Amino acid sequence: MAAIRKTIISNCEKTFLMKNLSEWNRLDGRSFTEFRDINIVFGKDWGCCKVSLGKTEVIAQVSCELQQTKSSRPNEGMLNINLELNTMADPSFDASRQSDLSSQLNRLLEKCIKDSKAVDLESLCIKMNERAWSLRVDINVLNNEGNILDCASVAAITALSHFRRPDVTCDGVEYKIHSIKQRDPIPTVIHHYPVCISYAILNEGEYILADPTLLEEGVAEAFLTIGLNSYKELCGLHLGGNARLATKDILETSSKAAKRATELVAIIKNAVEKDTQDRLKLNDIGFHIMPIQEKIEKSTAELSICLDQWTLSKKGKKKKSKNEPMDVDPINENNSDVQQCKETITPLGNGTAKLSEVKGENEWAIVESDEEAEVIFVEPPKADTVSISDSNSEEEQVVVLNPQRLKKSPSKRKKNRI
Amino acid sequence: MEVDTLKEENNIDRLKCDLGLLSRPDGSALFTEGQTVVLAALYGPVEVKMQKVLVEKASIECIYKPKAGFPCVQDRFKESFIKNICETSLAVSLYPRSTILVNIQEMQNHGQLLSCAINAACMACLDSGIDMKFLFGSVSCFLMKDGELSLIPPVNESSIKGMFVFVFNNTKGEVIASHTEGLFTAEQYHDALEGGRQMGVAAYVKRGTRSPFVCHLSLSERRGGTRRHDNDMLLPLRPELGDHPGYRAMFF
């Protein structure tokens, strides 16, 4: 059966993304090597955390049970990592069936965390050849906005380092598990903190994007996932898809990833440390006291990204208008025209309205006479002429569309160039 | 009445709801009842699987995910319980040959998981703007070993003798579903039902004016025909909004 409810990426979206990438822009305003913000929140139980990477969200919970040791490894405990792709995260995911994506992600996580021996399994053994702890990490994806793997790997290792198992005693025959109230629980020994860092490869290796979003993932030709710990040791490398990627690019990307891994591990360790301190102070911790206000800040942050982009495009135009001083006046006139003869919305009654175009001379027609197509922007009403004395060019007059933004512009321009 | 130890205000404080947390689903809600936290997300109406097509109405799929381990029998029970409630409360006949996916994710369990999941599902339905016949609200009631009834789960789990979960609708405050666990007498059941009706979520879902979340939600009803609301909707305690015209308009 073909995938049901799959989000299809249209050609328009694809070309738009590629065009933006060719101008070294990403749709969310990040640079190619920039990652989305990561946020870790702990639940009330040990070994429970919610990790969000941008809008991608996962919840991880570690659980443990006593099990018979494996005959092949009689002195070791067990570790299972299970990533569930829920319908909640994406309607095309089906929890009841094992998809290619879920087995691939599970295997990569296993490779990164289990096969790199990050967790000390020997310390989980209670009695050789008899009983050992079996740890199980359940990761549920809540929201899929791309790059589930990075988010899940951080969640898994955070949950493992946060987890504490109950104390157990053995009188020779019977094993007694002491509840958390009776005896202090024991933390898990973590040797190192491996994390996965993913890159999307587009246009035959020309663009390598860190932390791809859902749309970028859909358009990408290949993915490069690098498992690394804070000591810059490789814990897994996976290159999927079909891309002609030079060895040099892989090496370069992995050295960038190593830097990111160090940052991530520091974030994880800090978050766990802070949580332990809070618990020692007997503060109330858990999802039930999650701050709600956070979201407002986020949405304004997104807005400011849009505005940044907007000023950037305007600045580009300003430079052009410098070169053609003759254009300046007509534009100014246009602006006032634009304000006046916009389409008007006439209310027709209960909850309905009509959008009617105002007849008269079309404001766009005047602009058409200019050579530059980019000048066709509906400008904010505060357009204003100011002479800039410190500019090196010979022109006396420059249009400054928003005088307040002028002060910031040099630094911003530099930033955007990078 | 044995349930008189609780003040209604305390109960409102114990409930918290946050809408539109997730960007992918059509509607999502994080519902907190005391220390129990459940996340619900709703997609719908969406494409239906061939084997689940119903020609005269939408089919409802409820997926409950525990935080750890594989879904077990209790989880399947919760799924079918919530599915039945959604089938009665959503206007399913408006969306034939489609499906409505109700996803429930346990986040933190402190006793009231089922009632919290039901409330979260209701909030997610509201957030998505899907057509509903009525709202529903659920309340858990705990019967202690000493015969006392409480709406708050006790610290010591072993002191619970029985548990009741009631689901009420907001039109007449009728019971639309009930679930019980443990041993109790018929009298205790009626006491718990009455207590739940008076103090619980149902009471203020019905009255509307007293409910912190229902009031605010009423303002988010399908503005201009769009399904999405602003993602940063907050749910402050604003009882004064109860008489907003949007409230009456939406909930018939």
Q: Does A86 touch chain B (CB under 8 A)?
A: yes
In this predicted model, what pLDDT tens digit does every residue of B201-233 receive, in sequence order? 444 444 443 343 443 333 333 333 333 333 333
Mean of pLDDT values over A177-196: 92
pLDDT at A299: 57
CATH code for the domain defined by A11-290: 3.30.230.70
**Of A406 and A184, more confident:** A184
The three-state secondary structure class of B152 is coil
Q: Do A288 and B37 touch (CB under 8 A)?
A: yes
Which residues have a Cβ under 8 Å from the Cβ of B241 and sit 6 or more positions away?
A: B215, B216, B218, B219, B247
pLDDT at A309: 53
- Domain locations in chain A as residue ranges: 11-290, 304-417
**Of B124 and B10, more confident:** B124
Mean of pLDDT values over A321-339: 43
Which A-chain residues 323-382 have CB contacts (< 8 A) with chain B? none
Q: Does A142 touch chain B (CB under 8 A)?
A: yes
Q: What is the mean pLDDT of chain B?
A: 76
Q: How confident is the model at residue B251 (pLDDT cuts 50, 70, 90)?
A: very low
Q: Which of A5, A86, A298 has its CB closest to that of B63?
A: A86
Q: How confident is the model at residue B113 (pLDDT cuts 50, 70, 90)?
A: very high
Residue to test with chain A: of B16, B64, B67, B221, most A Cβ within 10 A: B67
Structure tokens at A330: 């007509």
- Between A80-94, A396-410, B49-63, B118-132, the lowest mean confidence (pLDDT) is in A396-410
Q: Which of A5, A86, A298 has its CB closest to that of B103?
A: A86
SS3 for A298-334 is HHHHHHHHHHHHHHHHHHHHHHHHHHCHHHHHHHHHH
pLDDT at B39: 95
| Spatial CA neighbour of B67 closest among B38, B40, B42 | B38
Q: Which of A84, A87, A299 has its CB closest to that of B101?
A: A87
Q: Do B24 and A90 touch (CB under 8 A)?
A: yes
Q: Does B65 touch chain A (CB under 8 A)?
A: yes
In this predicted model, what pLDDT tens digit does every residue of A67-80 receive, in sequence order? 999 999 999 999 99
In chain B, which residue's Cα lies nearest the Cα of A299?
A: B232
Which residues of chain A are within 8 Å of residue B36 when distances are taken between CB atoms?
288
Which residues of chain A are within 8 Å of residue B16 when distances are taken between CB atoms?
288, 292
Which residues have a Cβ under 8 Å from the Cβ of A134 and sit 6 or more positions away?
A: A64, A65, A66, A67, A77, A78, A79, A80, A124
CATH architecture of the domain B2-221 equals 2-Layer Sandwich (3.30)
pLDDT at A226: 95
pLDDT at B31 over 50: yes
The three-state secondary structure class of A176 is strand
Q: Does A63 touch chain B (CB under 8 A)?
A: yes
Place of tokens 């705990």: B142
pLDDT at B215: 35
**Of A283 and A92, more confident:** A92
pLDDT at A323: 42
Q: Do A288 and B35 touch (CB under 8 A)?
A: yes
pLDDT at B157: 82
Q: Does A87 touch chain B (CB under 8 A)?
A: yes
Element (H, E) at A218: helix A214-219
pLDDT at A159: 96
CA count, 13 A, side-chain hemisphere, A92: 13
Structure tokens at A318: 């300003």
In this predicted model, what pLDDT tens digit does every residue of A202-256 receive, in sequence order? 988 899 999 999 999 999 999 999 999 999 999 999 998 888 888 999 999 999 9
Mean of pLDDT values over A318-337: 42
In this predicted model, what pLDDT tens digit does every residue of B89-102 receive, in sequence order? 999 999 999 999 99
Reported ipTM:
0.78
